[in-house]
Amino acid sequence: MATILTKKSDSSSAVPTAGDLTNSTGGAELAVNTADKRLFVKNSGGTVVELGTNPSTIDINAGTIDGTAIGASTPSTGAFTTLSSTGNTTLGDASTDTVQANGYMGVGGAGNAAMGLRITSNALTGASQYGIVGDPTGTSGATTLISGIWGRAATAAAAYTVTNLVQLHAAGAVKGAGSTITNQHGVYIADQTQGTNNYGITSLVSSGTDKWNIYASGTAQNYFAGKVGIGATTTGTNFLEVRSSSGSGDIASSRDLLVAGENTIGRYLFGARSDASTYVYPSYIASVGAAAWSVSSTPTYMSFYVTSSGTTTPTERLRISPTEAVFNDPGADYDFRVESDTNTHALFVDAGNSRVGVNNSAPAVALDVTGQIRASTGILFGTDTAAANALDDYEEGTFTPTIVGSTTAGTGTYTGQLGTYTKIGNVVYFYVFVGWSAHTGTGDLQVGALPFTAKNTSNQSPVVNLTASSLTFSNQAYATVFLNTTLIGIRSFSSNAATAAVAMDTAATVIVSGFYYV
């Protein structure tokens, strides 16, 4: 082995020349700059080579490592079979340098052919320790995206099927003997505050068959401390808001939200926190079966429960079953009210007094109606159920009576015409005043234009009241309604003689009142 001789300099930045050093078979000289802590040697080609710039790093500007050439100003490319470092190692000395490792790499232990980068270090220190930290600082050119960690797995160009392709996989932790893990997180996202819009998780998966933005197939609980919007980016004061830009915005559930007994299929509860750990539910909606429910057996009913003022237990107010809808099924003193656009008590049930009001907020009898009542088939009284006994009509009105000749109806010059009537069921009560100063009719005198046709029943010709002025007749005059017509006949009668018609008169006044059947 050749002898190594040393030279030194205490001057900063001093570098030896080729003439200052020798390199022969008899020995090689080393030059040491003690001020800069730099070491130099002259190689066999006569070039001075710097071997170090400080005690912790070695800078090789020429020569080979494991047969790979190392250049001076422009290093040669190549690969090392094995490159090991036991101290701090810096790869690259500028921000633009790149380092490429082909194959797979191990940090803290041997690499694994199934893993591009395997970190198994057990020498980390500090209260918080990290396997991989992505902490880049984006330059001013990054105007579209800066990503701390970015991954895109790919399959090889070959005919095969992979069961699962996962971009980010959080496996279960391995707990060493004696250690305790208080909180284990598969993915932990700290508060995001620096953006104009801040998102904990963003998923851009479009809709389609077998596609989900979030697919949580585990059976553990799901907890959301903040508000939840489905189809809504803002929820206002609502903790859960469901919207839909098209179609239905309903919530559909095929599983119980809260089960409160074998007959209760499911409940939607509306509640609030009464203290730090207790919730109260003053109202809820329950789907209930009459017995232990199954799909093919017992029908269900839907019940709505609310809490009255001063109480803590919700009471059923409305029950909807397959056959009926019942309000106040428990029979409590709980009124029922339907409001119209102009009336607060369009329909009102006074539960405490068992009374019903229509347009009436204080019914005084069993049925108290403010306004009109219309019954299409009539009104029955008491326990009567016969249709013939129904009061099916009540009507008030006016009409214009006329004078009609039985042979020739004719036309008249009237001094007065007045007719009024009240129809109750099948009975018409009427009043007629008609006066005329001239008339062309011939035959018997008749008053026409009654409002309804008289009933055609034999021996039931109503006799009505008659008063006449300036009317020519013999004996005693009277009036009767002719059956199956709208006419009143003016007739006369005398003792032990048949009745006779009163003839048309050119001028007179008659007043007739009474009733007839229709």
The per-residue pLDDT string of the chain (518 residues; one tens digit each, 9 = 90 and over) reads 556 667 888 888 888 888 888 777 666 778 888 887 788 888 877 888 887 544 444 444 444 444 444 444 455 455 555 666 666 666 665 566 777 777 888 888 888 888 888 888 888 899 999 888 888 888 999 999 999 888 899 999 999 999 999 988 889 899 999 999 999 999 999 999 999 999 999 999 998 999 999 999 999 998 888 888 877 777 666 677 666 655 445 555 545 444 444 455 667 777 665 665 566 778 888 877 665 556 565 667 888 888 887 777 888 899 988 888 899 888 888 899 999 999 999 999 999 999 999 999 999 999 999 998 888 888 888 888 888 888 888 899 999 999 999 999 999 999 999 999 999 999 999 999 999 999 999 999 999 999 999 999 887 778 899 999 999 999 999 999 999 999 999 999 988 888 999 999 999 999 999 999 99
Residues 330 and 343 reside in one and the same domain: no
506 DSSP assignment: S
For 492, the enclosing helix (H) or strand (E) is: strand 488-493
**Structural domain of residue 21, as residue ranges?**
1-78
Residue 430: give its domain's CATH number: 2.60.90
Q: Is 122 domain-assigned?
A: no
Q: What's the pLDDT at 175?
A: 92
3-state secondary structure string across 383-412:
CCCCHHHCECCEEEEEECCEEEECCECCCE
Q: What's the pLDDT at 331?
A: 85
Residues 408 and 502 reside in one and the same domain: yes
**Counting runs of H as helices and runs of E as strands, what totals does the chain give?**
0, 30
Q: Is 161 domain-assigned?
A: no
Query: Residue 347 burial (CB < 10 Å; 0-12/13-18/19+)?
Result: middle
Residues 350 and 454 reside in one and the same domain: no
Please, are residues 234 and 242 in contact by the beta-carbon 8 Å criterion? no
Dist. CA 392–CA 375, nearest whole Å: 7
Q: Give the pair of three-digit tokens for residue 346.
A: 């369009």
Residues 507 and 440 reside in one and the same domain: yes
Give the largest CA-CA distance in the chain.
185
Please, are residues 346 and 359 in contact by the beta-carbon 8 Å criterion? yes
Residues 401 and 494 reside in one and the same domain: yes
Residues 448 and 414 reside in one and the same domain: yes
Q: Is 416 domain-assigned?
A: yes
Q: Which residues partner with 6 through β-bridges?
A: 30
Q: What's the pLDDT at 62?
A: 45
Q: Is 271 domain-assigned?
A: yes
- Rounded to 5 degrees, what angle do the CA atoms 406, 408, 412 make? 100
Residues 491 and 423 reside in one and the same domain: yes
Q: How crowded is residue 114: how many other Cβ atoms within 10 Å of its Cβ?
A: 7
Q: Is the dihedral of CA 510, 514, 517, 518 positive or negative?
A: positive
DSSP secondary structure letters along 168-237: S--PPP-PPTT---S---SS------SSSS--S----PPP-TT--S----S-S-----S-EEES-S--TT
Residues 476 and 412 reside in one and the same domain: yes
Residue 203: closest CA among 249, 247, 162, 167: 167
Which among 63, 78, 93 is the end of a domain? 78
What is the total count of domains within the chain? 4
Residues 408 and 512 reside in one and the same domain: yes
Please, are residues 40 and 51 in contact by the beta-carbon 8 Å criterion? yes
Q: Is 60 domain-assigned?
A: yes
Residues 401 and 512 reside in one and the same domain: yes
Q: What's the pLDDT at 350?
A: 94
Please, are residues 300 and 317 in contact by the beta-carbon 8 Å criterion? no
Q: Is 268 domain-assigned?
A: yes
Instruction: Say which amino acid occupies 62.
Output: A
Q: Give the pair of three-digit tokens for residue 239.
A: 């903790």
Residues 404 and 500 reside in one and the same domain: yes
Residues 430 and 513 reside in one and the same domain: yes
Please, are residues 465 and 423 in contact by the beta-carbon 8 Å criterion? no
Residue 487: closest CA among 404, 385, 413: 404
Q: What's the pLDDT at 292?
A: 57
Q: Is 202 domain-assigned?
A: no
Residues 6+ apart with CB under 8 A from 319: 301, 302, 303, 304, 325, 326, 329
For 107, the enclosing helix (H) or strand (E) is: strand 105-107
Please, are residues 323 and 334 in contact by the beta-carbon 8 Å criterion? no
Q: Is 127 domain-assigned?
A: no
Which among 36, 54, 78 is the end of a domain? 78
Which among 315, 334, 353 is the end of a domain? 334
Q: Is the dihedral of CA 441, 446, 450, 454 positive or negative?
A: negative
Dist. CA 459–CA 24, nearest whole Å: 164
Q: What's the pLDDT at 72?
A: 43
